[in-house]
Amino acid sequence: MGIRENRYDDALYQLKNEHLASGLEEALEAVDFYNERIM
């Protein structure tokens, strides 16, 4: 049972990290877009 729980935690952790990474990429793209409009 312990191994199964660990696998579940790992999957959840990986999902959370991917979600954060995609959010960061979107934020950076928005900043780039904003900078281009100012120039």
Rounded CA-CA distance 37/29 in Å is: 13
| Tally of helices (H runs) and strands (E runs) in the chain | 1, 0
pLDDT bucket at 39, cuts 50 / 70 / 90: confident
Question: Which residues constitute the domain of residue 29?
Answer: 7-38
2 in a structural domain: no
Query: How confident is the model at residue 23, as a pLDDT?
Result: 93
Rounded CA-CA distance 35/39 in Å is: 6
Global confidence as pTM: 0.53
**Radius of gyration for the alpha carbons in the chain, expressed in angstroms and rounded:** 17
16 in a structural domain: yes
The number of domains in the chain is 1
Query: How confident is the model at residue 3, as a pLDDT?
Result: 66
Note the pLDDT tens digit of each residue in 5-27. 788 899 889 999 999 999 999 99
